[in-house]
Structure 1
Amino acid sequence: MMYVQIPLGPLQTNCYVLANEEKECVIFDPGAQSEKLIRFIEEKQYKPLAILLTHAHFDHIGAVDDVKEKYSLPVYIHQDEQHWLTDPALNGSQFFGIGSISAGEATDIISEEGILNIGSFELYVFETPGHSPGSVSYYAAKEGLVFSGDALFAGSIGRTDLPGGNHRQLLASIDKKLMQLPEETVVLSGHGSETTVGQEMDQNPFLNGF
């Protein structure tokens, strides 16, 4: 399988497209600029199977509806944020002076951790709250990848000053879930460059207590 990182929108939120050899793909966090994302998918002749959201903050959901409708896709979100998609007060857009951003309701609600199979894609869903109550990370074990959303970044961690954020909870999520993955696991974050579990274990100043 291969993945591509596509920064989208004013906050350059990372959308990821994970594709297999049959050109099927799943899309993580289509945050904005749907035309740019759709153009990429069309150029690659990919066949999207699903949209997977790590959480429902506005900068991760802005292109959901366009991409969903273009390809008739299911949308996955954790149950603790299923109502955030439609509510600019919950997803944070009304607080940033950029207008109201929302998306339609998700089709598939994640209620617990476990394996998620979509076509040939096998992903383990970890609940990693703290940045937001329903944050999840998607772990592709065979590929050695984890899509961490805004939980963990290269050299940093997610902010916890937005509604539902909890700093202590976020550190616990990172320690008990993400830091337990193999050190060579590539961490694909919601913003910035990729990193590895081992690199963050050794160098991330926010994790020195673990």
Structure 2
Amino acid sequence: MKWIQIPLGPLQTNCYIIYTDRKSCLIIDPGEEAGKLFSAIEAEELKPQAVLLTHAHFDHIGAVDAVREMFDIPVYVHEKEANWLGDPTLNGSEFFMAGKIRAKAADHFLAAANERTIGDFNFQVFETPGHSPGSISIYFKEADFVAAGDALFNGSIGRTDLPGGNHDQLIKSIHDHLLTLPEETAVLPGHGPTTTIGAEMDGNPFLNGF
């Protein structure tokens, strides 16, 4: 299993295309600039199977409908943020001069599970709230990486000053669900460069001393 990181939009939100040798793929957090995603998918001759959202802030959902309609695939989000897709107040676009971003309702919900299967993909879902109430992290155990959304970054953590954010809850989410993964696990964050669990355990100033 492999992945492609594509920063999108003015906030350079990372979208990830997760794909197998059989050319099936999942699209995580298509935030904007759908054309860039289409080009990458076409270049690799991939076959999208679903869109997974780590959370529903505007910079992670801007291209959801374009992707869903292009490939006729379902969209998954945590139930706590089901209403955020169509509400610019909840998804934050109304407050960040990003226009009023709306997407159609998700087709399915993702919640904590020991294992989920979508098409050719097996993964675990961790509920990692704190940045937002319905934030999740998606762990691909066999491939040793986790898509952490805006929970954990390289040397930092997600902001918690937005509606529904909670700093203590975020720190607990990270320690309970992410730092328990093997240290070699790659962390695919919602913004910025990738990192590893071990690197964040050793050097992340927001986590040391908890």
Per the alignment, residue 86 of structure 1 pairs with 86
Per the alignment, residue 176 of structure 2 pairs with 176
State the distance in 1 between where 2:34 and 2:75 align.
15
Per the alignment, residue 65 of structure 2 pairs with 65
Per the alignment, residue 130 of structure 1 pairs with 130
Consecutive unaligned residues of structure 2, counting only runs of 5 or more, are none
User: Which amino acid in 1 is paired with 2:178?
Assistant: L
| TM-fit CA distance, 1:112 | 3.5
Q: Percent identity, aligned pairs only?
A: 59
Per the alignment, residue 203 of structure 2 pairs with 203
Structure 1 runs (4+) deviating above 4 angstroms are: none
User: Which amino acid in 1 is paired with 2:196?
Assistant: T
TM-score, scaled to structure 2: 0.98
User: Which amino acid in 2 is paired with 1:5?
Assistant: Q
Per the alignment, residue 188 of structure 2 pairs with 188
Is the aligned partner of 1:23 residue 2:23?
yes
Once superposed, what is the RMSD of the aligned Cα atoms?
0.8
Stretch of structure 1 that moved more, 113-122 or 88-97: 113-122
Contact 2:129 2:170 in 1 (8 A): yes
Q: CA-to-partner distance for each residue in 1:14-64, whole Å, 9 max, x for gaps?
A: 000010001110000000000111111112110000000000000000000
State the distance in 1 between where 2:68 and 2:160 align.
29
State the distance in 1 between where 2:164 and 2:53 align.
17
Per the alignment, residue 52 of structure 2 pairs with 52
Per the alignment, residue 43 of structure 2 pairs with 43
Number of aligned residues: 210
Stretch of structure 1 that moved more, 94-103 or 109-118: 109-118
Per the alignment, residue 159 of structure 1 pairs with 159
Consecutive unaligned residues of structure 1, counting only runs of 5 or more, are none
| TM-fit CA distance, 1:205 | 0.1
Contact 2:111 2:126 in 1 (8 A): no
Stretch of structure 1 that moved more, 103-112 or 151-160: 103-112
Q: CA-to-partner distance for each residue in 1:140-182, whole Å, 9 max, x for gaps?
A: 0000000000000000000000000000000000000000000
User: Which amino acid in 2 is paired with 1:194?
Assistant: T
State the distance in 1 between where 2:14 and 2:2 align.
16
SS at match of 1:142: helix
User: Which amino acid in 1 is paired with 2:195?
Assistant: T
| TM-fit CA distance, 1:109 | 1.1
